[in-house]
Structure 1
C-alpha cells in the first residue's frame, strides 16, 4: 500500500474517551503484573491508532494548506489533541500509582515513568481551552507563511521558490530578491506580531495556571529535558559566543574576499562563491535516483530503508503553491512508515534536507518496534541522527554534485559552523521573550536586533530593507510552532562534527557507531544517551572548542579562492 492509499478516518472522540478510560480502569483494577502489562501494551496500541490518523491529517494538511477537507480536519485536531491528552494523562497517573510499577519499570525502563511524571506536571484539564488556542494560533502562522505570494521578475513565487534568487551570482538579483521577501514579511508585520503576541500570552497563561513562574520552565518540561536546564544551556551559548562567533566572523571575511566585495551585506550571505554555489546536477527525480545509489552503497540497512520510502511514496519533495514551507520527518505508526517532507528548489539545500530528514527517518525506521515513547529520542538527540547523516553522505556526495563536490564540502562544513551562532541567537531570543511576557512587539524586535548584533556581528543590513527593523525572526517557524526547540539543532551539529571527524578516518567503525545510536531510539535521556553512545557532552566547558578544532583546521587548509 502506498502513502496515498493510507486510509484516513476522523477518530470519534467519544470512542477514544471510552477506550482510554476503560484501559485506565483496567490498569487500576489489575490484580497481578500480567494483567497490568497486558493493559499497558493495549494502551500503546490504542495511542498508535490515534496518532496514525492525526499524522495523516498533519501531513496532508501541510502538503496543501488550501485543501478544505484537511483544513477542517486540522482544525478538529487542534481542538481534539488537548482533550485526548486529558485522557492519556489519567492513564499515566494510574501507571505511576500502580502497585506493579517496579516490575513495569524493569520491563519498560525508568524513562517511561520519568516522562509520565512530567506529563502530570505539564497538563491539567483547566488548561484545555488554552491548549486549543495555542494550536489554533500555530496553525494560523503555518497558513500565513504558506500563503506567501511574492512578486519578483514578473513572476509570483512562494518563499521556497524565490530562495534560489537570494543566492544568485548577480548581486543586484540577490538584493532585489531579498528585498522582495522582506517586503512580504513587512506587509504582513501586523499579522505576524498578533499571532506571536497571542502565542506568548497564551503560553504564559498556561504556565502560570500549572504553577510555573513562566513558560521557560514549562517548555523545558514539555521537551522532557530531564538532565539539563536553562543554566546549562546559557553556559553552552556562552561557549558559542566566545569560541565560535570570532571564528565565523573570520569565515565571513574570507567570503567577502572570495566574492570580491568591499562590504558584505546581509543579502550577500546566501552566496558562497563568485562562481556560484554548488548545485545538484539534476531535478528531484534524478536526485532521488542518486540517493538510492548512495544508500545502497552505504549499508544493507539504509538500502532496505530508502527503497521502502521510495516504493511506498513516503516523500513529498517538490515545492508548490500553498504547500507548507520547510522540511520535516514524521512517523505513521500503524503503517510503520516514516514520512519525509521538503521543498526542493534546485539549490544544495535539496541534498541537505534530503539527507537530513533521511537521518530522522532511518532512525525511527530502526526503532519502529520500540514502544511509542521510545521510537523517537528527545529533539536534541534526534537531531544528532539527522545532522550526522548529512556528513555520512560525504563519501557519496559526488553522485549529486559532480564537479561541484569539493565546493559543496567546503560550503557544507563552513555553513554548519556558521549556523551555531544563529541557533544560539534563536534560543537566547526566546528566553528573553518568555522571561518578559509583557514585551510589546516593538520591544521584541529591539531585543532581536540587540542579540543579533552579539551573535552575528557580521550581518549588515541595507537601511532601506524592512528586515533591518528586527523582523528576520518571523521566518523562523520554530519560534512560533515549537518554542525552545532550536538549540537542539546546534547541540546536534556539534556532535555531528564529531561523527564527521571519525568518518574521515574510519567510515566502517563510524557507521556501526551511528547504527547503534539509531537503534537506541529514545530509551535514554539526552545526557545518558551521550554516555551510552560514548559521545562528548557539549554542556561541559571546553567541549565545543575541542570538537570544532579539527573542523577549523580542515577549513583553514583549503584554498577557497580557487572555487
Structure 2
C-alpha cells in the first residue's frame, strides 16, 4: 500500500496567511476591495474571481467547522453560540455584499471573454441570485437559519429506555431487526411514543419556518416558497411539472413492486397481519446482519472496499482518517442523521454519521464516501463555485457508490449467504426509496402551495399522499395517530427544504451508472469519475451524459431501470 500525502490548503494570496476570523469589521475591508476594485482587462476579472473564491472558501470552511462541532455535540452551549455568531453577525453582511459582487461581475464588459469552462454556469447562477435578492430578506434568512438549527437539538435529545439502558433512537432502531416479534413491537412503540411526545413542538417549528419561508418568497416576487426555491436552488434543468410527472411515474411503475414485496414478506414471516414493526426483520426470521462492530472497523473495511474498486478512492478515505475528519458512532447528544461536509479551503471533507452496527450504517458510509470522492476529484478546480454542483449531481456521486462497491461487500460478509442477504436488502431498499422520495417531495409542494394550512389539514394531506406511495398490505390499525407524524422524522423538511427530489433523480442515475459498470467495469467506473470531475462546470444533463446515462425520469425509463433491478434481485 502506497504512503498517502496529506493535502495542504492553497496559499492565501488575497486574505494573507495570518488571517483569523473574529469580527465583521476585520473582514469587511476584503469585501470593500472586491467591490471597489477597478477591472481593466479579462485577466483582471479572472484574478478578481480567484480572490473572491479564496475569500468564500475560507468563510465556507470556517462556517463548516462551527456546524460540525455543533452537530457532534448538540449539548454544548459554546458550539451553539459560535454557530449562531456566524449566522447572526456575518451572514447578513455576506448576503448583502454577495449581491453587490454578483452585479459587479455581470456588469463587467470582459466576462464574455472568460474562456475557462464553468464560468458560464457560475454567471448563470449569479444572474439568478441577483433576480431573487431582496434586502428585506436578509434578517428573515438569519431567523430561518436560527430556527432550522432547533430541529437537530430537539431530535438529538430524544432517547428511549431499552432493558434499563438509555439509548438514542438510532440505536433503538436496531432492535427492529430482531427475530423476537414482541420485542420489535415494544421497541417500535417506544420510538413512536417518544417522537409523539415532541410532535406539537415540531409542528410549531414547521409553522414558524413555513411562515418565514413564505414571507421570503413573497418579498422576492414569487407566488410561493416552492417557486422561490426552484430559483434559489438553480433548477435550470427541470420544472415543478417534471416533479409531478416523477411522482406519477413512481406511483405507476414502482408502488406495485412495494405491494409485491410486502405480500411476499407477510407470507414468508407467516403472519396473519403485517405490522409496521415487521419491515426490518429478515423475512426468513434470521438474526440481523452485523457487517461491523465498531466505528473503527466500519471505517477500515470501507477503506478496503473502496481500494478494491480503485486504489485512489481508498486513499481518499485514508487521508480523511489521518486528518481526523470522521465522526461515525452514534452517541447521546449527537445530532441525528449523517452528512459529508465539504471543507472548501483544504479540499478534504468531514463525514458525520450515527453508526450502530447494521447494514444501513454500512450503506450510509459508502454513500457519504461517494460525496467525499466528489470533493477530492474537484478540489483542484479553479473556483469554489465550480466545486459546488447541484444536489442532482452530488447525490449521483453518493448513490452510485453504494452500488459500485457491491461486488466488494465480501469485505464485510465472509459468509456467502449473509453477503447475498445484504445485497438483496439493499436492492429492495432502492425500490422503497423512490416512493418515499415522491412522498416527501409531493408533501413539500403541498406545504408551500398552501401556506395558510392548519395542522389538521396538514395531517389529512400527509395521510393522503402517504397512502398513494405506500403498500396497501401493512396493517396500521390502533396506530393511526402515529402515522400522521411520520414526516416529522425527515430532517430535510426542516433543515433543507425541497432538497429531496434530487435523491430520486440521482437514484435513477445511480442505477444507470451501475448497469454500465456491470456491462463493462472499467468503462462504467471511468464514466462515473468523468461526470464527478466536471464539478459544476456544465449543465446537469451534460454531467449525466459524461457518465453515459440520461437525465430522465419518465415512466418508461423508470420502468426500464426497475426491471433491471428486478433482474439483479432474481439473480441473487
Would the aligned equivalents of 1:10 and 1:73 in 2 still touch at CA under 8 Å?
Answer: no
Alignment counterpart, residue 401 of structure 1, candidates 413, 416, 420 = 413
Higher mean C-alpha deviation, range 228-237 or range 72-81: 72-81
SS in structure 2 of the partner of residue 157 of structure 1: strand
Aligned to 1:197: 207
Aligned residue in 2 for 1:50: 59
What's 1:116 paired with? 126
Question: Residues 202-241 of structure 1 correspond to what in structure 2 (within 5 A)?
Answer: 202-241=212-251
Q: Distance in 1 between matches of 2:262 and 2:36?
A: 62
Q: CA deviation at 1:459?
A: 6.4
Give unpaired runs (5+ residues) of structure 1.
Answer: 559-563
Report matched runs for 1:411-426 at 5 Å. Answer: 411-426=425-440
Residue 93 (structure 2) pairs with residue 83 (structure 1):
yes
Alignment equivalent of 1:458, drawn from 460, 472, 481: 472
Shift of 1:77: 2.5
Residue 528 of structure 1 pairs with residue 537 of structure 2: no
Task: Give TM-score scaled by structure 2 length.
Answer: 0.93
Offset at residue 467 of structure 1 (A): 5.0
Once the 2 structures are TM-superposed, how far is the Cα of residue 106 of structure 1 from its aligned partner?
A: 5.1
Deviation (angstroms), 1:272: 3.4
Which of 400, 417, 430 does residue 444 from structure 2 map onto? 430
Assess if the C-alpha contact under 8 Å between 1:498 and 1:547 holds in 2.
yes
2:446 equivalent to 1:446: no
Cα offsets for 1:106-159 (capped at 9, x unmatched): 564311011101111332211111111111110111110111122233221212
Of the three residues 526, 529, 538, the one matched with 1:512 is 526
**Counterpart-to-counterpart distance in 1, 2:473 and 2:390:** 32
Q: For structure 1, which segment, 377-386 or 508-517, has the greater mean C-alpha deviation from structure 2 after superposition? A: 508-517
For residues 249-308 of structure 1, give each alpha carbon's deviation from its aligned partner in whole angstroms, at most 9, with x where no partner exists.
111111222222221111212223311332214322222221222222221321321211
Matched residue, 1:356: 367
Alignment match, 1:246: 256
Please tell me whether residue 543 in structure 1 is matched to residue 557 in structure 2: yes
Distance 1:469 1:398, change over 3 A: closer
Q: Answer whether contact 1:317 1:342 (CA < 8 A) is retained.
A: yes
Q: 1:375 aligns with which of 359, 366, 387?
A: 387
Asked whether 1:489 is paired with 2:503, we answer: yes
- Give, in whole Å, the separation in 2 of the partners of 1:154 and 1:447: 38
- 1:473 aligned residue: 487
Question: What do residues 376-397 of structure 1 show as CA deviations (whole Å, max 9, x unaligned)?
Answer: 3110111111011011111110
Contact 2:347/2:375 (CA < 8 Å) preserved in 1? no
Paired residue for 2:142?
A: 132
Partner of 1:37: 46
Question: What corresponds to 2:13 in structure 1?
Answer: none
Q: 1:16 to 1:9 in 2, by over 3 A?
A: closer
Quick one: structure 1 residues 442 and 459, their matched pair in 2 at CA, closer, same or farther if it must change by over 3 Å? Answer: farther
Q: In structure 2, what is the equivalent of residue 561 of structure 1?
A: none
CA contact (8 A) 2:340 2:350 kept: yes
1:553 aligns to 2:567 (yes or no): yes
- Deviation, 1:16, is 2.7
Q: Does 1:271 align with 2:281?
A: yes
Per-residue CA distance 1:298-357 (angstroms, 9 max, x = gap): 213213212111111211001111101110001112222111111101110121011000
Task: Find the aligned partners of 2:21 and 2:48 in 1 and give their Cα distance.
Answer: 24
2:465, 2:559 → 1: CA distance?
22
* Residues 155-170 of structure 1: pairs in structure 2 closer than 5 A: 155-170=165-180
Name whichever structure is richer in helix by fraction: 1
Matched residue, 2:352: 341
Q: Contact conserved, 2:294 with 2:329, CA < 8 A, in 1? A: no
Report how far residue 358 of structure 1 moved: 0.3
| Contact kept? 1:497, 1:547, Cα under 8 Å | yes
Aligned mates of 2:281, 2:493 — CA distance in 1 = 25
Q: Secondary structure at the match of 1:218?
A: helix
- Counterpart in the other structure of 2:396: 384
> Greater shift after overlay, 301-310 or 478-487?
301-310
Indicate the RMSD between aligned Cα atoms, in angstroms: 2.0
- Residue 503 of structure 2 aligns to a residue in which SS? helix
Shift of 1:435: 0.3
Number of equivalenced pairs: 553
Structure 2 vs 1, CA of residues 110 and 482 (structure 1 numbering), >3 Å: closer, same or farther?
A: same
For 1:515 and 1:11, locate their aligned partners in 2 and report how far apart those are by CA, in whole Å. Answer: 39
Q: Confirm or deny that 1:366 pairs with 2:380.
A: no
- On the 8 A contact 1:281/1:401 being kept in 2, the answer is no
Q: Structure 1 residues 41, 307: closer, same or farther in 2, change over 3 A?
A: same
SS at match of 2:351: strand
Residue 70 of structure 1 corresponds to 79
Determine the C-alpha separation between the residues in 2 that align with 1:189 and 1:545: 37
Query: Is the 8 Å Cα contact of residues 377 and 524 (structure 1) preserved in structure 2?
Result: no
Answering whether residue 332 of structure 2 is matched by residue 312 of structure 1, we say no
- Paired residue for 1:324? 335
Structure 2, unaligned runs of 5 or more: 8-17
Q: After superposition, what is the alpha-carbon deviation per residue over 1:406-449, rounded to whole angstroms, capped at 9, x for unaligned?
A: 00001101111111101100000000110001111121111111
Provide Cα deviations, 1:194-250, integer angstroms capped at 9, x if missing partner: 100000011000000000000011111121111111001111111101011111211
Conservation of the 8 A alpha-carbon contact between 1:167 and 1:271: yes
